[in-house]
């Protein structure tokens, strides 16, 4: 298998993954507590079938570039994929209260209370104010505790290490070594995660479900007390899915053996 054939094989797997998720009406993505995901779903749902097909192809290109990191010719924006470019350009223009994460909502509420005549004070209706006031945030320390519990439910021989801003959960998932790296340090989103199999045969180190779907980030910014347990149970599903996908990718050894 040549490098070009390997790329094609990986992209075929990525297309199949997106079709599977789309056929379920994005059942996993819709459960992810992320405004980035909410924007994508709203944007995608508004497209006609041709537009959806075109963007799906751009997303598979974006996912491929996330997996084959460092191969600059695989950037869909640089390749001028029109559907991907329209989507990327539309994201900053999409605004709604539901596209603001928990921390941002609380900051805007505080600002509106200090300055009722400010932009956000004027925009904040009574219903929006009551909604934000009812949100009970979850502290990073508590999120870390729940993540640790969640990871221990799917990993055997789990060890936790802390490297700077990153917390690393390593162990065995169905008998295979796996590492989940989580960043809790961002001021607006509450966690970002990467799943790694440490599989040198495939030359690929990390992935998360959002990037598997071709989205730009895995920024979870809508975690609150009302959804934290369900959301981190979902994290287990996403971690297992990503690990399985990474193990399915064609290996570099296969590529080298066939090209030699």
Residues 6+ apart with CB under 8 A from 44: 26, 52, 55
| Mean per-residue pLDDT, 119-142 | 92
pLDDT tens digits, 84-93: 999 999 999 9
Mean residue pLDDT across the chain: 88
As a whole number of angstroms, the distance between CA 156 and CA 189 comes to: 29
Q: What DSSP character marks residue 207?
A: B
Q: Which residue has the higher pLDDT, 79 or 38?
A: 38
DSSP per-residue string spanning 128-150: HHHHHHH--B--HHHHHHHHHHH
Global pTM value:
0.88
Contacts of the segment 60-64: beta carbons below 8 A, 24+ positions apart: 60/11, 60/14, 60/15, 60/18, 60/214, 61/11, 61/214, 62/214, 62/215, 62/216, 63/14, 63/17, 63/18, 63/211, 63/212, 63/213, 63/214, 64/7, 64/10, 64/11, 64/14
How much is the pLDDT for 182?
95
pLDDT tens digits, 178-203: 999 999 998 889 999 999 986 655 45
105 pLDDT tier (thresholds 50, 70, 90): very high
Percent pLDDT > 90 in the chain is 69
How much is the pLDDT for 254?
52
């Amino acid at each position: 298998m040549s490098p070009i054939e390997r790329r094609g094989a990986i992209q075929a797997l990525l297309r199949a993954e997106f079709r599977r998720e789309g056929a379920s009406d994005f059942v996993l993505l819709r459960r992810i507590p992320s405004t980035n995901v909410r924007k994508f779903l709203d944007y995608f749902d508004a497209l006609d079938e041709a537009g959806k097909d075109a963007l799906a192809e751009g997303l598979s290109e974006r996912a491929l570039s996330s997996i084959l990191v460092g191969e600059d010719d695989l950037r869909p924006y640089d390749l001028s994929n029109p559907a991907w470019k329209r989507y990327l350009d539309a994201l900053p223009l999409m605004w709604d209260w539901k596209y603001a994460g928990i921390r941002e909502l609380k900051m805007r509420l505080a600002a509106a209370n200090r300055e009722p005549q400010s932009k956000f004070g004027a925009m904040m209706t009574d219903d929006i104010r009551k909604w934000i006031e009812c949100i009970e945030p979850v502290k990073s320390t508590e999120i870390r505790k729940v993540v640790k519990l969640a990871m221990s439910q799917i990993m055997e021989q789990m060890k936790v290490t802390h490297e700077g801003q990153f917390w690393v959960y390593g162990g065995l998932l169905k008998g295979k070594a796996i590492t989940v790296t989580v960043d809790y340090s961002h001021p607006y989103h509450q966690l970002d995660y990467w799943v790694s199999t440490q599989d040198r045969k495939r030359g690929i180190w990390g992935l998360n479900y959002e990037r598997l779907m071709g989205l730009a980030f895995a920024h979870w910014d809508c975690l609150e007390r009302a959804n934290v347990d369900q959301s981190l149970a979902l994290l287990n599903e996403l971690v297992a899915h990503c690990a399985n996908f990474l193990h399915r990718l064609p290996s570099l050894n296969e590529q080298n053996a066939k090209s030699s």
